[in-house]
Chains A and B, each alone.
Chain A
Amino acid sequence: MATRAAEVNTIVPALSAERPVTWPKRTRAKLSNGLEVILAESHTIPKFHGELFFRSGNAAAIDRGPGLAEMTAAVLRTGTAKRASRQIEEDLRRIGADLASSAGADNSAISFAGLSELAEPLLGLVNELARDAVFPEAEFERERRQKLEEVKLERTQPGFLASERLRKVLFGAHPYAQVSPSEEQVASFERGDLLEVYRDFYTPENALLLLVGDFHPDSMLKAVENIFGMWTGKMPERKSAAAPAQPRGRRVHLVHVPGAVQTQILAGCHAITRKHPDWVKLGLTNSLYGGAFNSRLVMNIREDKGYTYSPRSSVNAFRQHGYFSISAAVRNDVVAASLTEIFYELDKLRSLAIPESELADAQNYLSGVFSLGLATQNGLLSQLAVVALNELPEDYLETYRAKVRALRPEDVVDTARKYFDSANMQIVAVGDRSQIESQAALFGGVETYDAQGRKLS
């Protein structure tokens, strides 16, 4: 694949010929119980990494309570029909393994890593957790009390407060609006709710098992069939929620944290899912705007003006919807100045053609870092997971780089106009109201909340 030359100093060594990027062959299978399996070899270390996904997460459990899928995942590892909590943790250590269980908006997952030669006992434990978790009452109570402290604690983190407010503003009545349960909601969780979520979500028809590592796929597949083959369970019913409407008109949502010595800015608007045909274009446009170190936003408000340490923009995709966001933690006295530059760079990208050389740089960046995923088991696993969970074409990994490199300057302007909706951008600012309110008000009507989410004005 040709690499277009970027404008560089003539004494800088040129790039040599690229070695081909070859993605490992994937072995796919569907067991008779409906479990989908994808295996890929990676021999970097004598270990393997795996993830057992269930295609239902917090959004699917929203009617029973926000965060219930996460709570279910947390208690899952604390007991099975055969092993008590302490036994599970010691057995993991005995085989040199790590294991975590968690849930996001769209999926629940048990992720794990261990030594290749001890793969079977680890897969055996994963199977046990997926089928025979018993949710001991005492463990549930302990986790619930712990969760109560955690939800209080997260309300003291500027980053959490910002993303919670933005998700509420962008997604309204849709389940994606809920980032975390309230104290009252955690207090009302019951063990029976968890058992119900477990029965509904943790079934082979709803699951995908991904394994990457130092193994032979044929013998690994046999092991998987032996271990997971007897498990049964149906696909849960899928509920759909009405599409959220993009809020119209630029507004400021201020979260008041008295005494804050910095302001966390997070601005966003609706975007797209990974399946959308514009995904690659938007990824490239985001990379030019603020998705890379060498992007316009970072060069402007960090390297030129010194307003902030880590400004970034990103495209965040859920299964049904997505959003674009820009974040920067800035000095209190430059909130207005930072927002001015944030919008200046958005509108510039919407208005003016980008130079060919800048486009080439961004294309090389995106296609290059994409291939870094090849070099670690975990990196490869996460790329395979994105493809499988979003039902992207099977050749997605193989064709992505060519798609990035085929884009033209006009694609970037079109995409920025379509998705960088600066007129309707919702601005969240987490900071001390007395220091930032008048600055924030220059960018739209201000609604103010406290850290508990109560409206102050």
Chain B
Amino acid sequence: MNRLQIPIESTTLPNGLRVVIAPDTAAPVVTLGVYYKIGFRLEPRGRSGFAHLFEHMMFQGSANAPKMQHIKLINSSGGTLNGSTHYDVTNYYEAVPSNALARVLWLEADRMRALKVDDENLRNQRDVVKEEVRVNVLNQPYGGFPWLDLPPVAFRNWANSHNFYGDFADLDAASLADVQTFFKTYYVPNNAVLLILGDVKPGEGCTLARELFSDIPSGPSPLFADPTEPKQTEERRGEVEEKFGTLPAMAVGYVAPKRRTADWCAMALLDQALHGGRAGKLYRELVLEKQLAVELDGGIEDVFGYNGPTQMVTRILHKPEFSGEATLAEFNKVIREIQEKGISEDELRQLKVKWQSDYYSLLEGGHGGMPRYGLMHLLACFTLFDGEPQLVNSILDGFLAVKREEIQAAAKKYLRNENRAIVFRKPVTAGAKEAA
């Protein structure tokens, strides 16, 4: 099969900022990103939700671009922008016509150099974030399910188990001093990577990066808390009340292997065998054949971009006439079957073709109209975690080499009850009472 090769140039500035450029001049559009190696997993204790609140503060004013200037300058250059906070990284990105390249780089350098925000900005964004939490979690059926429900049940280390969107009391307690400390600690050039993808000449990109970012002083390498989990030896269960939704729901999460270990590729294909769309074993059995479930999806979230304890999660909304235990029993049958029989050679071939095809779409990835978001994300994670952006061109090899026996072995090793956590979401609304 044809293999896609992405041309990549990378360099490191004297202050430690890594620069990765992937030129493609087909369209006059450039995607830029700055990734910092800090996410909500390792935010300060007592400050749940802080990494995300901080991400909002990065749009509130920097050394030479006061509040509203940053957004105005990107939009009025014909571009779109956003940022997002993940477990282990936080990103800021823009897609613009390529004639705005120097301007956008200048803006990113300006906010890497110094954040210029005040109490008023912090109050304002604290309010905005609370409405974000309400619209996505507190006022939505199945809000935060299961990404906020599972961690406190599944994990014991605060880093992995706390409320990543933030308790409102913690958000209220966050101060301007916290903002500046967090910035000085983690937002140093030696803890970041700059990405320029699309309509840029490698030389031009490097020169601009050097001109605009070189004088930003590096800082001490940040010290990261240890996210290691104590070994799990028992199945863990929890229950959460569903305030609005009519259907009972459950999520089952199995701890996944560390990224880029020998088991990682097999586990990813096992995940696809179980969760890969309507051909996936779980959807086929629980939704199409047994017809217990109304919605079923899942997988290892951001399989290329996690850097700490992570689960492969199945999310199920099921019909009220089936109990949670009955639904779980059917789920368990699918798991047991793949442990006992593995998958066929034909199925493995299918999974590999689909994996490769999905990988290409991921790289091209429009994400909210942002071309090459996926390529940017992978280049950033491969740089920050592995020091090897070129992995985007070779990472597929490991997945395409997985053997049937390895998938079965992964199923036996990871899909054990004492390696999983289950959360039940129980509706409180009348007329949706779960059958006993």
Contact residues of A with B, CB < 8 Å?
A: 3, 6, 8-9, 11-21, 43-47, 85-86, 89-90, 92-98, 113-118, 142, 145-146, 149-150, 152-153, 156-158, 257, 259-262, 292-294, 299, 302-310, 329-331, 360-362, 364-365, 367-369, 371-379
- Closest-CB distance, B103 to chain A (whole angstroms): 5
Residue in A43, A149, A259 whose CB lies within 8 Å of B294: A149
Given A261-B139, A309-B128, also A142-B291 (CB < 8 A)? yes
Q: Is the CB of B288 within 8 A of A142?
A: yes
Instruction: Indicate which residue in B65, B97, B353 contacts A96 across the interface (CB closer than 8 Å).
Output: B353
B357 touches A114 (CB 8 A): yes
B199 at the interface (CB under 8 A from A): yes
Query: What residues of A have a CB within 8 angstroms of the CB of B1 in the complex?
Result: 115, 117
Determine whether the beta carbon of B76 is less than 8 Å from that of A45.
Answer: no
Q: In whole angstroms, how far apart are the Cα atoms of A156 and B77 in the complex? A: 40
Closest Cβ–Cβ distance, residue A118 to chain B (whole Å): 8
B139 → A minimal CB distance (Å): 4
Question: B residues 290-336 with Cβ under 8 Å of A?
Answer: 291, 294, 317, 319
Can you list, as one digit per residue, whether each of B8-36 has a CB less than 8 Å from chain A (1) or not (0)?
A: 00000000000000001011110100000
With contacts A9-B69, A142-B291 taken as known, whether A377 is within 8 angstroms of B279 at the C-beta atoms is: no
Q: Is B221 part of the contact surface with A, judged by Cβ < 8 Å?
A: no
Contacts of B356 in A (CB 8 A): 96, 115
Q: Which of A20, A90, A299, A362 contacts B279 (CB 8 A)?
A: A90
B95 A372 Cβ-Cβ under 8 A: yes
Please tell me which stretch of B37-45, B175-183, B366-374 contacts chain A, meaning at least 4 of its Cβ atoms lie within 8 angstroms of it. B366-374
Interchain residue pairs with CB less than 8 A apart (14): A3-B99, A12-B64, A44-B26, A46-B360, A89-B279, A93-B351, A96-B358, A113-B361, A146-B287, A257-B244, A302-B128, A306-B131, A330-B131, A364-B77
In the complex, which residue of chain A has the Cβ closest to the Cβ of B2? A46
Cβ < 8 Å to A, chain B residues 46-103: 64-65, 67-69, 71-81, 95-103
- Using known A-B contacts A9-B64, A149-B319, A367-B78, determine if residue A262 contacts B138 with beta carbons closer than 8 Å: yes
Question: With the chains together, A95 CA to B1 CA distance in Å?
Answer: 11
Q: A153-B247, A368-B96, A371-B27 are in contact. List 14 more A-B contacts (CB 8 A).
A: A11-B64, A45-B361, A47-B357, A93-B351, A96-B358, A97-B357, A114-B357, A152-B246, A261-B139, A304-B124, A368-B77, A375-B26, A375-B27, A375-B371
A93 touches B246 (CB 8 A): no
Asked whether A307 lies within 8 Å of B135 as measured between CB atoms, the reply is no
CB-CB under 8 A for A371 and B78, given A47-B360, A149-B294, A376-B364: yes
Q: Which residues does chain B contribute within 8 Å of A17, judged by CB atoms?
A: 99
Interface pair A12/B106, CB less than 8 Å apart: yes
Complex-state Cα separation, A362 to B78, whole angstroms: 8
Contacts of B81 in A (CB 8 A): 293
Which one of B2, B76, B358 has the greatest number of beta carbons of chain A within 10 Å? B76
Across-interface contacts of B294 in A (CB, < 8 A) = 146, 149-150, 153
Give B211 Cβ to nearest chain A Cβ, in Å: 10
* B260 CB within 8 Å of chain A: no
Query: Least Cβ distance of B60 to chain A in Å?
Result: 9
The residues of B that contact A369 with a CB separation of less than 8 Å are 78-80, 369
Q: A157-B141, A304-B124 are in contact. Are A372 and B369 (CB under 8 A)?
A: yes
Residues of A within 8 A of B127 (CB): 306-307, 331
A20 in contact with B349 given A361-B76, A379-B371 (CB within 8 Å) = no
Cβ B135 vs Cβ A309 within 8 A:
yes
- How many of chain B's residues touch chain A, expressed as a range? 35 or more
Residue contact B139 to A329, C-beta cutoff 8 Å: yes
Task: Say whether A94 contacts B369, CB under 8 Å.
Answer: no
Closest A-B pairs by Cβ, 5 of them: A368-B78, A96-B357, A306-B127, A375-B371, A361-B76
Q: Which residues of A contact B24 (CB under 8 A)?
A: 44
- Would you give the shortest CB distance from B158 to chain A, in whole angstroms? 27
Cα separation A68 to B138 with both chains bound (whole Å): 33
Q: A19-B98, A299-B68 are in contact. Are A331 and B279 (CB under 8 A)?
A: no
Q: Would you call A294 and B76 a contact (CB within 8 A)?
A: yes
B77 pairs with A309, CB closer than 8 A? no
Instruction: Determine if B366 and A310 form an interchain contact, defined as CB atoms under 8 angstroms apart.
Output: no
| Distance (whole angstroms) from the CB of A63 to the closest CB of chain B | 29
- Taking CB atoms, residues of chain B closer than 8 Å to A18 are 28, 97, 99
Which residues of chain B have C-beta atoms less than 8 A from A379's C-beta?
Answer: 366, 369, 371
A-B contact count (CB 8 A): 237
A45 neighbours in B (Cβ, 8 Å): 4, 360-361, 363-364
CB distance from A356 to the nearest CB of B (A): 13
Please give, as numbers and ranges, the residues of chain B lying within 8 Å of A90 by CB-CB distance: 279, 350
Give the residues in chain B near A85, CB-CB below 8 Å. Answer: 288
Q: Establish whether residues B102 and A16, one from each chain, have CB atoms under 8 Å apart when the complex forms.
A: yes
Residue of B nearest to A158 (CB): B139
A261 with B138: CB separation less than 8 A: yes
Residues in A with CB closer than 8 Å to B363 are 45
CB atoms of B198 and A375 under 8 A apart: yes
A89 engages B71 (CB within 8 Å): no
Which residues does chain B contribute within 8 Å of A152, judged by CB atoms?
246-247
Q: Which residue of B lies closest to A377 (CB)?
A: B364
Is B141 a contact of A156 with CB atoms below 8 Å? Answer: yes
Residues of A close to B99: CB separation below 8 A = 3, 15-19
Min CB gap B95→A, angstroms: 5
A15/B77 in contact, CB under 8 A = yes
B245 touches A156 (CB 8 A): yes
CA distance A11 to B212 in the complex (A): 12
- Tell me how far the C-beta of B355 lies from the nearest C-beta in chain A, rounded to whole angstroms: 8
Q: Do A19 and B199 touch across chains, with their CB atoms under 8 A apart?
A: yes
Contacts of A96 in B (CB 8 A): 353-354, 356-358
Partner of B27, one of A47, A150, A374: A374
Q: Given A153-B245, A306-B128: A15 and B103 within 8 A (CB)?
A: yes
Bound: A340/B354 CA distance, A: 51
B237 at the A interface (CB under 8 A): no
Query: Which chain A residues lie closer than 8 Å to B156 at the CB level?
Result: none
Q: Is the CB of A306 within 8 A of B123?
A: yes
Q: Is the CB of B276 within 8 A of A372?
A: no
**In this assembly, does B277 line the interface, its C-beta being within 8 Å of a C-beta of chain A?**
yes
**Closest Cβ–Cβ distance, residue A129 to chain B (whole Å):** 14
Does the CB pair A303–B68 fall under 8 Å? yes
List of A residues within 8 angstroms of B100 by Cβ: 15, 368
Closest A residue by C-beta to B107? A12
CA distance A93 to B130 in the complex (A): 41
Q: How far is the CB of A43 from chain B (nearest CB, A)?
A: 7
B277 and A89 form a contact (CB under 8 A):
yes
Asked if A21 meets B366 with Cβ closer than 8 Å, knowing A142-B288, A156-B245, the reply is no
- CB neighbours of B139 from chain A (8 A): 158, 260-262, 329
B413 contacts the other chain (Cβ, under 8 Å)?
Answer: no
B215 in the interface (beta carbon within 8 A): no
| Residues of chain A contacted by B107 (CB below 8 angstroms) | 12
Q: Is B140 part of the contact surface with A, judged by Cβ < 8 Å?
A: yes
Contacts of A146 in B (CB 8 A): 287, 291, 294
The answer to the question of B278 belonging to the interface, with a C-beta cut-off of 8 Å to chain A, is yes
B132 within 8 A of A: yes
Interfacial chain A residues near B258, Cβ < 8 Å: none
In this assembly, does B284 line the interface, its C-beta being within 8 Å of a C-beta of chain A? yes
Distance A143 CA – B138 CA, assembled complex (angstroms): 30
With an 8 A cutoff between CB atoms, is B134 at the interface?
yes
Measured between C-beta atoms, what is the minimum distance from A300 to chain B in Å? 11
Contact between A309 and B132 (Cβ–Cβ < 8 Å)? yes
Q: Is the CB of A365 within 8 A of B75?
A: yes
Closest-by-CB residue of B relative to A431 is B139
Interface string of B375-419 (1 = CB under 8 A from A): 000000000000000000000000000000000000000000000
